[in-house]
Amino acid sequence: MYVTTAASLTFVAEGFTAPGPGNFQLPPAFSIGGLDVTKSMLLIVLSGVLIIAVTYVMARPAAVVPGRLQFAGEAVYGFVRNGIARDSIGTQDFMKFVPYLFSLFLFVFVNNYYGVFPFLQFPTFSRISYVYGLAALTWFVYNGVGIARHGFFGYLRRQTVPGGMKGPILVLLIPLEFLSNIVVRPATLALRLFANMFAGHLLLILFSTGAAYLIFESDKLAYAPVGILSFILGILVSFLELLVMFLQAYVFTLLTAMYIGGALADEH
């Protein structure tokens, strides 16, 4: 049968409640002056503290022959600097955006991997409000640098009028280009990250709770092997999620760099 709650519509069969959007509505951890502080809010703050602390420890020695931590930090920095920023923005302008892109990559990376970290086990960006905030910041950055480089109307023309296009076709192309480059980009940037984190975490909840129910709570012994299979699939999905979490941090940072590079370019 179907059971309707304020948070979600959930399917209940033989005592098992399937996971749904309600599982992402976490209760407040505590309240401060009437403000409810949730687990996801704490994780966002924790990620900032962790990133600052770890990068400080990695960079502090600044030795000619790096130790393990310094080498790891330089490897990640070099990956963002050379593999993302320089390739997407160009050798002339990329360096000024490396700090933002490096911080962005680490921030998304850490918040994604909360989803498989014991006791935390909640990817922060499975809550779309956080992703929209991050995408909005990127939107302000790439539009801001584009306007600073070309001026407001010059930037708007470069983003809405394809190079070499003239005539009546522009009546159709200009609104489409405006929607694509100015309006829709932050939404698609956010939804890509959110959807992957949401779906991946939902799958992990389904396999783990389903396995526990079939093995320990179901009154039908024949369901136990299916529960064991569900448990194994949950482990395999966890390993797949490790890859997806990294790829989503990379893709979010890469697209941000590409948008910045496109905003700075002289031709659209």
Query: pTM of the full predicted structure?
Result: 0.87
b/e per residue, 11-24, with b = 16+ CB within 10 A?
eeeeeeeebbeebb
How many domains, the chain?
1
Taking a C-beta distance cutoff of 8 angstroms, is the pair 231, 208 a contact?
Answer: yes
Taking a C-beta distance cutoff of 8 angstroms, is the pair 108, 249 a contact?
Answer: yes
Report the alpha-carbon distance of residue 71 to residue 48 in Å, rounded. Answer: 21
DSSP H helical ranges for the chain: 39-59, 68-78, 87-89, 98-113, 128-150, 152-160, 170-178, 185-212, 224-264
pLDDT of residue 7: 42
Residue-range definition of the domain harbouring residue 223: 2-264
By residue count, the chain amounts to 268
Report the alpha-carbon distance of residue 71 to residue 62 in Å, rounded. Answer: 10
Position 126: which residue type? S
Report the alpha-carbon distance of residue 263 to residue 53 in Å, rounded. Answer: 33
Per-residue pLDDT tens, the chain, 268 aa: give them: 434 444 444 444 566 777 888 878 888 888 887 788 888 899 999 999 999 999 998 888 777 777 788 888 889 999 999 999 999 998 888 999 999 999 999 999 999 999 888 888 899 999 999 999 999 999 999 999 999 999 999 998 888 887 767 777 778 888 888 898 888 998 999 999 999 999 999 998 888 888 888 888 777 777 788 888 988 988 999 999 999 999 999 999 999 999 999 999 876 5
